[in-house]
Amino acid sequence: MNLIGLTAAISTFLGVWFGHVAVRKIEFSSLTIWLPAAVFIIVGAGFELLSLTVADIYLSIAFGVFGITVLWDAFEFSRQQNRIKKGHVPANPDNPRHAKILAGFPSATPFDMLRRQPVGRPVSADEAISLINH
């Protein structure tokens, strides 16, 4: 039985899930984005090195897939910051870096526009904020 496809699929799912959650949470609270990005680059490169050196094909696949997703997530920190500037994700007003974004970008908001009561039609930003508060 060949489990290579299953190993790659599970590794991809876990890597993408971990990266999505980690980037959102770390970017929300980190005072800089360069430090977590640097850590992710080092960790991702370490996983890639492991994938090249382990003898077991399944571990090699898992390390390789997870390593490349962690390396990709290093770039996602700056993309997540751009999403905050555009108001696509909420800013953390308690984070000094986000406070500067809130002051400098009118589209940035501390409100999560997805955590509102659905009304079945497009709404303006002001109306969405009023729906959050209900």
pLDDT (0 to 100) of residue 40: 97
pLDDT of residue 134 exceeding 60: no
Helix axes 4-29, 57-86, angle to 10 degrees: 30
- Checking if the pLDDT of 133 tops 70, the result is no
The two structure tokens encoding residue 27: 């970017």
What is the pLDDT averaged over residues 22-45?
96
Band the pLDDT of 44: cuts 50, 70, 90. Answer: very high
Q: What is the residue whose two structure tokens read 């492991």?
A: 50
Instruction: Give the global pTM.
Output: 0.83
Write down the residue that tokens 């899930």 correspond to. 17
Secondary structure of 62-101 as H, E, C letters: HHHHHHHHHHHHHHHHHHHHHHHHHCCCCCCCCCHHHHHH
Higher pLDDT, 56 or 131: 56
